[in-house]
Structures are given as C-alpha cells and as structure tokens.
C-alpha cells in the first residue's frame, strides 16, 4: 500500500469515527450511509484485511463501536439500520463486527433483537458471539432472546452447556440472568441440561469444564447486589426442590445458599 | 585438571660495553642458570669486542620451566673474561620472576655488558610473544575463570552454555567483579525457522538424538540415520567474557568432553572444540557435556540422550460453504507447517509423520498428499466455532483413533489460534486420585536453569517438579487425540505465518502430550490464568521463552526443556 493510500485510509477512519461520536443526528445517518458504500468500505479495509479479519479486527468495526457507544438515539438508529442493510451484511466479517459491537445498544430496539435472532442459528458461524453479546448486553430483550435460545432444541445441548460455562458463568450475579435461569429450570430447558445450569450458577469446576485455551471465571459473590442475592436464593430453592442433582451438585448449591444467607444477614 | 603452565627463558645476546682487556677484544664466557638449572655452555668462549653484540645460540641458551606450582623462577647470569692467569669477573645479574607470569624482553646491565633475555609463555602449545591479552593461566573459581594474560593482567573469564534459546533476559548470578563492565560476547537470539532448514536448526536442545555413527556400513533397516551436521544436536556457547578472548566456532582452546550420567553416551561429530559442537547419541540416558578452557571446567551442559520417536498424524482441512469460511492453508502449506513443527519437536526427540492410512469418513476427501484430507462442513463448524463445546465437532470429524489428529479451521469464537481438545492420560500416575500427575527432574545444571541452577556461583541445583495436564477426553472417543489450528495464525504461506502456525501446533501438541503452560496468565507472578492455574505447570522460568508459555509470540517462545522432554515421552501417543 502506498503512503498516500494509507493516509487516505487514516483520514477516512478518523472522520467516520468523529462523525459517529458526534451529537449530530444528520452525521450519524451519513455515517451509516457511507459505510454501506463499496468504495468507502474498500478504502477502510483491503482484501488482505478481510483475509486476516480473524486475526485483526476490521477498521470498520471501530466506526460501528463509535456509533454503538454513542448514547444518542440517532446514533443507535444509524447503527441498527445497518443490521438490515444488504450491502453491509453481505460480508460475514462485517456482520460479525456488527454483532460484537451491538452489545452496547441499550435498550435494544426490536430490529436489533431480530438481527440477533437471525444470527443465532445452529452452525451459522455467528452464534457463540451472539450468545456472548446477549449476556453482555444484559437487557430484558437480550436475556429474553437468550432464554428462547436455551429452549430451542435446534441448538445442540453441548453448545448450550458451552454457553453456560463460558458466558452465563461470567454473568451469574446478574438479576435478569438469574431470573431467566429460574424460569428455564422451572420450564423450558431440557431436563438433562438443568443440572449443568445449576452447576454453573452455584459451583465452579474449571478442571472439568475447560480446555487449556478456553476458560472463564465467575464474578465474586460478594459483588452481587441484594436483588441478585435474593434471586440466587430463590433459584437455589428451585434447584434443590425441582432439579435432579447429584450429591455433589446439591452440596454446592447448599454451600452457596449459606454464603448468600450470610451476605444477606438472614 | 588445569593445563600445565610453562615458560621459557632464552638468553638472547650480550652487548659488550667494555672488554676489560687492555688490548684488542676480550674472551667472554658466561655462566647462566634458570630456576637453579644450568643453561648454556660456559666452555664456549665468545670474542667480545667493545660496542658489539654477542649472539647466544638459542638452542643452548634457553630453558623451559614448569611453573604450575612455582612461586618464583630465578634467572641468573654471570659474565667472565678469560685471562691467562685468572679470569676476571664481569658481574652477575639475578632476577626473580613471579606469578602473575609475564612474557617480555628483559635486560640487565653490569659495568661490562648488557644482557638481553626473553621470557615466553606456553600458550596453546606454542612459545612466543603472544598478543598481550592472550590468556596464559586460568583457574576455575566459583563458576568463573580467574585468568592472567601473558602480560600479567588478571581477568575474570566466564563461559555459559544456556539450555534455553532464546536465552532469557534474567540469568543466574554470575559473580563477576563490580566496576567497569567488561565486554562480553552473547549468542542468545531466537531462531527463524524455515521448513527447509536442517532439522537441528534450533541449538541447545534438551535431547541429543541417537544416530548411527558415520563412516561405517549403511545403517540397517529401522536403525537411526547416519549422523551428520544436519541432524546432530547443535550445542553452542551462549555467553563468554571478556570479548578479548575472541573464541572462534572451532577454537582449540575450548575443549568439550562428555561425562556420562544415567547410562547416556554421545559422540562428537568433528573436533570437540570451539564455541559450537555437533553431538549425536550412542546410548540412551543422560550426559553432561563439559567445556574446558586452559584445562579448567568453565561450563556444563546437561542433556538427555534418546531415540527420536515418530508420532503418526493426520490433517483435516475443514472448508465451510463460503469463501470466508475456508481456511487458507493448502496441503502444501500444511507440509511446511509440519516441517517447522518438527524442528521445534526435535528438541525433545519427537517427529510428527503423516499417517498413510487411507481410511476416511464424515465426507472427508483425500488430497494428493496421503494423510491430509478436506471436509466440507457447515459454516459454524469451521468459522467462529465454539471450541468450548465438549464434543467439539471440528476435531472429531474424520479422526483416526490412536494417531494425532489435526483440524485446520477458519476461526475460533474465543479468538484462539488453536487449541488442544482431546488429551490422553499421561503414563505418569498421579499421586492421589483426582490429583494432577507430577514429574521430577534432578541434575546439574537444573532444567531451564531454574534456580538454584547449580551453575556457580548460584547454589546447588535441587529437584524440579512439574505438574502435567490431566486427561481431557470426550465421551465415547477414548482414542481420539486432537487439536485444531485456525486461520488467525496469519498468511500460511509467508515465513512469519508459517512459523506462527508451527508454533501454535507445537504448543497445542505439547498440551496433548500433557504439558501445561510454562507461566500462565498476565499477573505479576506469572502464574495462574483466570481458571485458577489448572493448566499451569507450576514453573515460572523461563518467563517467556518456553513454547508452552501461555500466549507469547513465535519469535520468542521456542524452547522445550529437559523436564518437558521427560514428560512428553510418557504420553501414550509416543511409542515406547
């Protein structure tokens, strides 16, 4: 790449990010329009960049991030407009960037939830990221969709266990996640998966769950809000009374309930 | 045993100041001794003319002295003028030479003559006036060489043969004198590994391979190949000081020898001298290679001796339905990655060889390279795939039980460059049910020079314990040994990309052979990832240079050490 071309790219990226971060609704709409233009996209990221997108993030994702983290509704509208733009989502790496950065859109409007749903299908090449985004987004619509995905038999049980151990685990102090988990245990989650969900919420077994390149850790219980502790307590009772648990799993639930009670001053 | 220290005193010539005779020239003769022993020939009468030199024949007028244990060497010289009635004494000279011995041209005067004599020191088997910084004497003391040059200047020499390449920044204490630093020569860098490089391209391995001795009959079928410079272990000095020693790769002043440990035996290919030597094994076990300078032991390299074991493997390239869900690597690229991987694995006497069994399943299509297959899969099986799934599909497809199975995929949802997914149990039994297996290594120097290293002045080496990874096997596939490697390693055709792929493969294959992370996680102590250190091997040295470092770059993480070599040969994947 020539120095000139490199400078053109740098200027374009700076300008798009600046506009995306601005509080001007017109500029937000323009950003969304510009990043659907083939020439703009080609300037931002070359073919080689797309070939290496699994290693290095595309530059266009910085523009998406700037829109998504801008609290202005017009910035979010502009972002969401891209989720149905055929030109933009024609490329899987751009779509993946869209999924990743969408975690910041709160509350997610229905079109964004639809987008998440579309890109959370079995073996589609997006689902693990979408599931992570749903949990990181953490809003009611996002967790509602997560619940739906856990109940969907089209997704393999093994995949769901991996979602639990990688993503639910990191959010096991979140009230909405705990409430959704209770509903899943009481209803739509396949029975064989219920002890796995209980285990993820009440225990931590890295030596059983993870491989050398893949691991996650849970938040400290002491950082949970009173509402989360209450939700976890209620969930524990459900787990002990309604889920077929091993002795080890029951002991883990009881131990955690004791800790919850201590923290709540019961 | 230190070399013998010898010097030679040569009475060169005498200048006649006064002949002492009233008329004409004098008739001088001389009585000389060196260290109490008579030198020269006092019956030889020289014609002494004032203002002229008398040359003394070197053959008779010189003496060698073994000064290894001497406190001094006294040189005496007495001149006489022969006369009819009685000989006239022209005066005597006496000089005491003491350590530190110095070469040089000396002179002394009487009223009648001036004497010139030389002191030459024996260096590398030769007398003469050597370069002033040539080392004459050396005595090993506390890991260093207390040396003196032929000029009598004391220097502290140190030589190291570090087992980790690249050599870590932190090395054990060297015990060198404080003050103005002395220039050193270092050979410490990493290795740029290319597929066509000799298999021994990485120096200072932890295992010397057993090979057939050169010069004999062709090896029998199944016997190791004949040793040559492309397949022997390369052992190299990594540090020496001062740089004025100017050692060369084949320097005869540096003499290597072998001390067997635990039954090991090795031979040198070529002369066992210099900064770099080639060594091949002749009997399995362990040896210490000792490096001497001026006869003093300056460095020791401990190393295992083993046969190179071949591990059969197959590769599956998982192609998704779209252009950007296909890994870029071709079978030719895979062969290059495999070749570089084997250059890393050579350090621990392992070699991955393509499994030629043609059986295949799961829609796999053999390529023209036996052992490499392509499989068409759903996008999510190869692109942004979730390797956290216990029954991870990518590494289960078209696997062959009992061999090592590699899957080339597009990408991992967690951003991993690759990962071991199916790890058999090591033959090392855990101490208790549920505990991780642990392996030990004792010897001097310690593995990877983990302190105390046993490299003086550091303390004596102790026993090093390393924790192994417990088995991870998915239900219903007890003979599945597998890992995947992703396109995110970079362009599979460039030199840097190829080394990345090979480095990732070597690291993950290390996990499959039950090796844990050498340093795990970014915390200051270098121990323990978020998962509580379950894949940590318990050791924090070297800090970044081991292949099993949790996330270091291919340009840095290149080393396997002795304790890891012991461990991997306990894997059921490795033939006995």
DSSP A187-214: TTS-GGGHHHHHHHHH---HHHH-BTTB
In chain B, the percentage of residues whose pLDDT exceeds 90 is 89
Q: Which has the closest alpha carbon to B158: B253, B241, B275, B256?
A: B241
Chosen from A46, A157, A210, A213 to mutate, greatest number of chain B CBs within 10 A: A213
Distance from CA of A212 to the nearest CA of B (A): 6
Q: Is the pLDDT score of A140 beyond 70?
A: yes
Residue with tokens 């096991």: A172
Q: Are A213 and B418 inside 8 Å of each other by CB?
A: yes
Mutation target for A interface from B375, B384, B489: give the one with most A CBs within 10 A. B384
List of residues 6+ apart from A104 with CB closer than 8 A: A65, A68, A69, A137
pLDDT reported for residue A213: 80
| Side-chain-facing half-sphere of B124: CA atoms under 13 Å | 16
- Mind listing the pLDDT tens digit for each residue in A216-265? 889 999 999 999 999 999 999 999 999 999 999 999 999 999 999 999 88
The answer to whether the CB atoms of A123 and B532 lie below 8 A apart is no
Q: Among B550, B562, B575, B522, which residue's Cα sits nearest to residue B233?
A: B562
| B445 upstream amide cis, omega within 30 of 0 | yes
B511 touches chain A (CB under 8 A): yes
The verdict on a CB contact (< 8 Å) between A215 and B531 is yes
- How many CB atoms are closer than 10 A to CB B216? 8
Q: Pick B380's closest partner by Cβ from A54, A127, A216.
A: A127
Q: Which long-range contacts (CB under 8 A, 24 or more apart) does A35-43 make?
A: A35/A60, A35/A63, A35/A64, A35/A82, A35/A88, A36/A82, A36/A85, A36/A87, A36/A88, A38/A87, A40/A12, A40/A16, A41/A94, A43/A5, A43/A8, A43/A9, A43/A12
DSSP letter at A104 equals: G
Query: With contacts defined as CB-CB under 8 Å, which chain A residues touch B390?
Result: 158, 161-162
Instruction: Show residues of chain B in contact with A162, CB under 8 Å.
Output: 386, 388-390
- Residue B477, chain A, CB below 8 Å: the answer is no
Does B488 contact chain A (CB < 8 Å)?
Answer: yes
> What's the pLDDT at A1?
64
Scanning every residue of chain B, which has its alpha carbon at the shortest distance from the alpha carbon of A211? B421
Q: What is the pLDDT of residues B497-532, one digit of tens each?
A: 999 999 999 999 999 999 999 988 877 666 666 666
Q: Do B386 and A211 touch (CB under 8 A)?
A: no
- Residue B496 touches partner A, C-beta closer than 8 Å: no
Residue given tokens 């509704």 in the structure block: A73
Closest CA to B402 of B316, B479, B508, B311: B479
Which chain A residues are closer than 8 Å to B386 by Cβ? 127-128, 159, 162, 166
pLDDT at B315 over 70: yes
Residue A218 corresponds to which tokens in the numbers above? 């849970």
Q: Which of A52, A128, A216 sits opposite B386 (nearest CB)?
A: A128
For residue B91, the surrounding DSSP H or E stretch is: strand B88-97
- Cβ <8 Å between B325 and A92: yes
Chain-chain contact of A217 with B532 (C-beta, under 8 angstroms): yes
CB of B327 within 8 Å of a chain A CB? The answer is no
Closest B-chain CA to A130: B413
Nearest-CB residue to A128 (from B384, B423, B469):
B384
Q: Which tokens go with B427?
A: 């033959």
pLDDT of residue B24: 62
Q: What is the ipTM of this complex?
A: 0.95
Phi, psi of A118 (to 5 degrees): -65, -35
DSSP state of A238: H
Residues B454 and B447: beta-carbon distance below 8 Å: no
Chain-chain contact of A124 with B380 (C-beta, under 8 angstroms): yes
CA distance A64 to chain B (A): 19
As a whole number of angstroms, the distance between CA B491 and CA A47 comes to 13
Give the range among A159-168, B48-57, B112-121, B521-530 with minimum mean pLDDT: B521-530
Q: Check residues B24 and A193 and name the one with the higher pLDDT.
A: A193
Interface of B with A in 402-461 (CB under 8 A): 410-414, 416, 418-421, 423
Interface of A with B (CB under 8 A): 50-55, 91-93, 96, 122-129, 132, 156, 158-159, 161-162, 165-166, 206-207, 210-217
CA distance B264 to chain A (A): 34
Strands of the sheet containing B296-306, edge to edge, are B207-209, B296-306, B285-293, B254-261
| Mean pLDDT for chain A overall | 96
Q: What is the pLDDT of residue B523?
A: 72
Chain B: closest CA distance from residue A55 (Å): 5
- The answer to whether the Cβ–Cβ distance between A213 and B530 falls below 8 Å is no
Closest approach of B531 to chain A, Cα-based (Å): 6
Give me the total of CB pairs closer than 8 Å, taking one residue from chain A and one from chain B: 115
3-state secondary structure of B39: strand
Which of B516, B531, B533, B551 to substitute to test the interface with A, most A CBs within 10 Å? Answer: B531
Beta-bridge mates of residue B28: B46, B81
Query: Is residue B23 a contact partner of residue B30, using CB atoms and an 8 Å limit?
Result: no
B560 and B344 in contact (C-beta within 8 Å)?
A: yes
Mutate to test the interface with A, among B320, B322, B389, B396 (most CBs of A within 10 A): B389
In percent, the amount of chain A with pLDDT more than 70 equals 99
- Which band of pLDDT confidence, cut at 50, 70 and 90, is reported for residue B188? very high
Across the interface, of B378, B383, B530, the residue whose CB is closest to A215 is B530
Q: H or E element: which one contains A65?
A: helix A60-69
- Across all residues in chain B, what is the average pLDDT? 94
pLDDT tens across B543-574, in order? 899 999 998 899 999 999 999 999 999 999 99
pLDDT confidence of A55, banded at 50, 70, 90? Answer: confident
pTM: predicted TM-score of the whole model, two decimal places: 0.92
Tell whether the model's pLDDT for residue B207 goes beyond 90. yes
**pLDDT score recorded for residue B163:** 98
CA distance B23 to B29: 18
CB-CB contact of B392 with A134 (8 Å): no
Position B1 pLDDT exceeds 90: no
Spell out which residues of chain A touch residue B420, defining contact as CB-CB under 8 Å: 211-213
Is the model's pLDDT at B187 over the cut of 60? yes
Instruction: Identify all chain B residues contacting A158, using CB atoms and an 8 Å cutoff.
Output: 389-391
Rounded to a whole number of angstroms, the distance from the CA of A109 to the nearest CA of chain B is: 25
B566 touches B286 (CB < 8 A): no
Which among A50, A125, A165 is the nearest to B383, CB-wise?
A125
- Which tens digit of pLDDT belongs to each residue from B16-26? 998 666 556 78
Compute the nearest-CA separation of B349 from chain A (Å). Answer: 24
pLDDT for the residue B150: 94
Q: Do B531 and A126 touch (CB under 8 A)?
A: no
For residue A75, give both structure tokens: 């910035």
Whether residue B491 and residue A91 make contact (CB cut-off 8 A), yes or no, is no
pLDDT exceeds 70 at position B169: yes
């Amino acid at each position: 790449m020539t120095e000139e071309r490199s400078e053109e790219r740098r200027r374009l990226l700076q300008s798009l990010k600046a506009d995306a971060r601005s509080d001007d609704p017109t500029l937000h709409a323009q950003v969304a329009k510009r990043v659907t233009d083939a020439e703009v996209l080609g300037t931002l990221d070359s073919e080689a960049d797309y070939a290496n997108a699994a290693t290095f993030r595309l530059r266009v994702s910085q523009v998406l991030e700037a829109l998504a983290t801008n609290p202005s509704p017009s910035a979010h509208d502009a972002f969401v407009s891209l989720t149905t733009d055929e030109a933009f989502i024609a490329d899987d790496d751009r779509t993946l960037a869209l999924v990743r950065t969408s975690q910041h859109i709160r509350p997610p409007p229905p079109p964004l939830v639809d987008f998440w749903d579309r890109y959370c299908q079995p073996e589609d090449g997006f689902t693990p990221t979408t599931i992570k985004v749903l949990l990181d987004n953490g809003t009611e619509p996002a967790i509602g969709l997560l619940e739906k995905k856990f109940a969907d038999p089209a997704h393999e049980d093994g995949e769901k266990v991996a979602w639990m151990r990688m993503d639910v685990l990191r959010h096991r102090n979140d009230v909405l996640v705990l409430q959704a988990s209770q509903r899943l245990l009481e209803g739509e989650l396949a029975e064989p998966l219920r002890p796995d969900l209980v285990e993820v919420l009440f225990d931590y077994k890295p030596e059983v769950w993870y491989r050398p390149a893949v691991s996650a850790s849970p938040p400290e219980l002491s950082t949970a809000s009173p509402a989360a502790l209450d939700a976890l307590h209620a969930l524990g009772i459900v787990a002990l009374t309604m889920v077929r648990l091993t002795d080890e799993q029951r002991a883990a639930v009881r131990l955690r309930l004791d800790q919850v009670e201590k923290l709540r001053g019961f | 045993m230190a070399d013998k220290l010898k010097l030679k005193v040569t009475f060169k010539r005498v200048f006649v100041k006064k002949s002492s005779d009233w008329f004409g020239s004098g008739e001088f003769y001389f009585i000389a001794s060196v260290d109490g022993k008579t030198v020269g020939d006092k019956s030889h009468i020289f014609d002494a003319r004032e203002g002229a030199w008398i040359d003394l024949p070197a053959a008779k007028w010189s003496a060698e002295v073994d000064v290894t244990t001497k406190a001094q060497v006294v040189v005496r010289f007495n001149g006489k003028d022969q006369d009819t009635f009685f000989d006239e004494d022209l005066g005597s000279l006496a000089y005491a030479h003491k350590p530190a011995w110095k070469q040089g041209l000396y002179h002394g005067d009487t009223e009648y003559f001036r004497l010139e004599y030389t002191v030459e020191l024996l260096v590398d088997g030769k007398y003469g006036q050597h370069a002033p910084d040539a080392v004459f004497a050396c005595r090993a003391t506390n890991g260093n060489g207390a040396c003196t040059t032929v000029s009598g200047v004391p220097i502290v020499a140190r030589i190291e043969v570090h087992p980790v390449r690249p050599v870590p920044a932190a090395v054990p204490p060297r015990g060198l004198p404080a003050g103005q630093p002395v220039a050193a020569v270092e050979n410490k860098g990493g290795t740029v590994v290319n597929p066509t490089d000799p298999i021994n391209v990485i120096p200072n391995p932890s295992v010397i391979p057993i090979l057939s001795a050169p010069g004999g009959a062709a090896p029998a079928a199944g016997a190791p190949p004949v040793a040559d410079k492309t397949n022997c272990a390369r052992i190299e000095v990594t540090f020496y000081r001062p740089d004025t020693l100017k050692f060369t790769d084949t320097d005869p002043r540096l003499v290597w020898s072998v001390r067997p440990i635990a039954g090991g035996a090795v031979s040198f290919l070529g002369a066992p001298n210099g900064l770099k030597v080639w060594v091949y094994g002749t009997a399995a076990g362990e040896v210490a290679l000792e490096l001497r300078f001026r006869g003093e032991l300056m460095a020791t390299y401990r190393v295992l001796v083993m046969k190179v074991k071949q591990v059969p493997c197959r590769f599956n390239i998982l192609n998704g339905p779209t252009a950007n869900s296909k890994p870029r690597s071709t079978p030719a690229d895979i062969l290059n990655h495999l070749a570089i991987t084997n250059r890393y694995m050579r350090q621990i006497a392992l070699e991955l060889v393509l499994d030629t069994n043609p059986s295949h399943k799961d829609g796999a299509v053999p390529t023209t390279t036996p052992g490499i297959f392509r499989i068409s899969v759903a996008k999510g099986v190869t692109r942004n795939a979730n390797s956290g799934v216990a029954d991870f599909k990518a590494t289960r497809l078209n696997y062959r039980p009992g061999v090592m199975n590699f899957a080339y995929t597009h990408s991992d949802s967690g951003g991993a460059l690759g990962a071991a997914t199916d790890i058999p149990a090591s033959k090392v039994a855990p101490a208790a049910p549920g505990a991780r297996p642990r392996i030990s290594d004792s010897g001097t120097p310690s593995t990877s020079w983990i302190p105390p290293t046993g490299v003086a002045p550091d303390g004596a080496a102790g026993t090093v314990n390393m924790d192994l990874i417990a088995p991870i096997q998915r239900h219903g596939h007890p003979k599945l040994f597998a890992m995947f490697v992703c396109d995110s390693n970079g362009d599979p055709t460039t030199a840097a990309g190829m080394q990345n792929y090979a480095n990732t493969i070597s690291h993950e294959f290390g996990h499959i052979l039950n090796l844990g992370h050498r340093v795990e996680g970014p915390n200051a102590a270098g121990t323990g990832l978020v998962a509580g250190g379950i894949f940590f091997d318990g050791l924090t040295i070297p800090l970044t240079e081991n292949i099993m470092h949790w996330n270091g770059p291919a340009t840095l993480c290149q080393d396997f050490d002795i304790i890891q070599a012991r461990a991997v040969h306990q894997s059921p994947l490795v033939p006995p």
